[in-house]
Structure 1
């Protein structure tokens, strides 16, 4: 509806009946326009309230309200951009799949779905909004899964090099602070960012602020509100630009500032430990349905059939029964497609990446290997003693995760830089990207 038509409609409504001040209902404010979508101020307010609730009793660690709003708004923008890209790529999440995710979360917290709904209401959260957030999260997971399948490759030479260095025996808990730079930053922007990161490091080194508190208050990274935590990582999961230095650091020591593709960074080594599972490897249990092409079945027909079967499984049909009736894999047909326990590369890197990229109980999108089109339902995971082959699989997985994180962060910067983002929240600086 164009502005002229809106004006005419408003004039007609005004002429039709008098409006009193007490009858006026304010329109919903817009916090940001993201391409063809919007983020409402009420959405931003709820997200900020959630952060404040998480920091109850520790609110002094949070940045000023306007900075906190900017951080939270940027998170919301990135989620919208990812779900939009997922939709453009044909990623869909059905109501039945959202129901399944709700049931899993309820079970993990010792609730029935109805009890979870009641708990959310008691916490002042809308069940519909909770479902919407879950749908977005599932879409982002599937987008990341497709991304890993198409862009992440780990060579045997990389695995050999990592095994030669015995890089999987120790794990490092890391945190970081990022002062971001835009693409094509001017010399003035670079100087300002460099001065800011040096100032943050000085605060930490003088003991005026803990590293995690400084990350919450000053970092431009999406994980700022988690204190910049990068979690526990093996050496293979640490970017090669930092891995050498990290091995010689002491807990509490800060590395940097370092200039990277996103801007200037500080990296802190929080703690070091011997990997508890250095002699073990992750194994997966999964069911699959294979649809082969060839003969009278074209590749497109095989893909469409796999998509139809996936939709039936997501809609509640028993996956094992579907496999018995439809799979072209005779070795697993009688077991309902069950492949038993296997490592990430046992059935090839493409198959393993798909299984590793979904959660237990989830069903993959159709994907293609040399054997044909597959859909996979992941049943569970476990740690098993690592022989040489399993150790290689463990190292391959660690390298793949590190590469995925690097490439995924680069991808997020790309879609953020290409997007039209008009920030209108009063507490956030106005600006347009893309």
Structure 2
């Protein structure tokens, strides 16, 4: 959750919410997305914030019109995910948004008022910031629901990964550049994409740009602005078509263009390591107690929130936490123990719960917050570094495999979501319609302005 909160803050500062119903003077529509729009002012704000992030390395940014298309596509995907979340019943209450904002402020060691002042100085209004946080919460929960329903990891997969680690197998740090092709691409679109990917490879071979900078400038992948980084992968986590190529590469080497389901790719091997060195032998564990008020057919969300708020007020007033947990908590596994949950890792009870724990100091009690289980009050009592035993090691490996699967399936879901949507770029061509032709196979020393 700590990392998630940092990402939320970054996303909130980079992206502005869609305000299709507001009347804004001298503003235009940049993109129509299904029945909603992205305003030019929103796009301009998001582009400006990306430029601010790259203030000390502006040479890595693509030409202005290419950067605008990359950022616009991110806003389109965000809007489509928010719409899907809302259509499937995913919600984020005002209370939850307030809690996320408070956690972001605490993470950045400022008060909520100071955070608002900083946002105002950066040109973001409180309403825009709240809407961006709400959107990020909705997308996070949509992704969690997707993971719960679409992703499974078998014991056999865990066993194979553990055997690979024990055998000292290699892991590979990869990056990629994607030249996307639309569904049912025409021969002309395929030829254009092939010319572009060959031009990028030629540019890299001549040393005119490093791989990360080329990814930022030319890749159509959602992680383009992160330099195309794919992170660490074990051999069994790499598609079979790529695995043999990667095994024969040296760090820093780049493949020839590869045609895949999404388009043409260049794959770089950044570095390698032994699986035995893949992670720390210790994990951070927290000790805490909690009070849970469930939401069910007899207790509405509002009633559960009100009861949690009353109990929190009593705790602040000096009531004993453990005694209140025994009297009021609806978690049968911890109620008789005064709410004691023992020692657990941050994500063991879900990212929402874990984030609240991580943001607390030892002895501190949280404000009431909501998860899928209901409304909680948590008291953190300790933190430690614990040796990873067999059970924890299996859980860690299972989580790693699940995360890789989720990444692949989620990206496929986003491609389908984008492909099914009506998206009309008013000031530019749809970036998915036809890949940019530049750079060509023999690009000039300075790539042309439409080099995205």
TM-score grouping bracket, smaller chain normalisation: 0.7 to 0.9
1:154, distance to aligned residue in structure 2 (A) = 0.3
For 2:197 and 2:228, how far apart are their aligned partners in 1?
14
Q: Which sits farther off after the overlay, 231-240 or 106-115?
A: 231-240
Alignment of 1:346-425 (within 5 A): 355=350, 360-361=355-356, 365-366=371-372, 384-424=386-426
Whether the aligned pair in 2 keeps the contact of 1:236 and 1:402 (CA below 8 Å) is no
1:162-173 to 2 correspondence within 5 Å? 162-166=161-165, 172-173=172-173
1:112-261 matches, within 5 Å, as 112-166=111-165, 172-233=172-233, 238-239=238-239, 241-261=241-261
CA-based RMSD of the aligned residues comes to: 3.5
Q: Quote how far apart the aligned CAs of 1:271 are.
A: 2.8
User: In structure 2, do the counterparts of structure 1 residues 186 and 288 end up closer, same or farther at CA, with 3 Å as the change threshold?
Assistant: farther
Structure 1 residue 341 displacement after superposition: 2.6
1:255 is paired with a residue whose SS is coil
Question: CA distance change for structure 1 residues 359 and 249 in 2, over 3 Å: closer, same or farther?
Answer: farther
For 2:440, the equivalent position in structure 1 comes to none
Segments of 5+ residues of structure 2 without an aligned counterpart are 1-23, 316-320, 358-368, 434-452
**In 2 relative to 1, CA 310–260 (structure 1 residues): closer, same or farther, beyond 3 Å?**
farther
Q: Which moved more, 1:211-220 or 1:228-237?
A: 228-237
CA deviations on 1:357-394 (whole Å, 9 max, x unpaired) are: 77511867536xxxxxx778897997632222222111
Residues 353 and 371, structure 2, Cα contact 8 Å, conserved in 1 = no
TM-score (norm 2): 0.74
Cα 1:192–1:53 shift into 2, 3 Å: same
Give 1:291 shift.
9.2
Residues 272 and 180 (structure 1), Cα distance of their counterparts in 2 relative to 1, 3 Å cut: same
Equivalent residue in structure 2 for 1:339, among 310, 324, 341: 341
Residue in structure 1 matched with residue 31 of structure 2 by the alignment: 32
Q: Could you say what secondary structure the match of 1:66 adopts?
A: helix
SS state at 2:272 partner: strand
Change (3 A) 1:432 1:265: closer
Query: Aligned residue pairs: how many?
Result: 386
1:245–1:421: structure 2 CA closer, same or farther, 3 Å change rule?
same
Q: Offset of 1:75 from its aligned partner?
A: 0.2
Q: Which moved more, 1:317-326 or 1:335-344?
A: 317-326
1:317-336 matches, within 5 Å, as: 318=312, 324=326, 327=329, 329-335=331-337
Tell me, yes or no, if the aligned pair for 2:174 and 2:271 is still in contact at 8 Å. yes
Q: Does the CA contact (< 8 Å) of 2:171 and 2:233 recur in 1?
A: yes
Q: Partners in 2 of 1:72 and 1:316 — Cα distance?
A: 45
Q: 218-227 or 355-364: which moved more?
A: 355-364
Q: Distance in 2 between matches of 1:109 and 1:158?
A: 39
Q: Residues 129-163 of structure 1, C-alpha deviation per residue, up to 9 Å, x if partnerless?
A: 22221111111111111111111100011111111
- How far does residue 259 in structure 1 lie from its aligned partner after superposition? 2.2
Correspondence for 1:91:
90
Gaps of 5+ in 1: 1-24, 293-300, 345-350, 368-373
In the superposition, the TM-score normalised over structure 1's length comes to 0.77
- Distance in structure 2 (CA, Å) of the matches to 1:364 and 1:386: 30
Once residues 313 and 245 of structure 1 are traced to their aligned partners in structure 2, the CA distance between those partners, rounded to angstroms, is 59
Deviation at 1:91, TM superposition (A): 1.3
Displacement, 1:415?
Answer: 0.9
Kept after mapping to 1: 8 A contact 2:259/2:265: yes
Aligned to 1:19: none
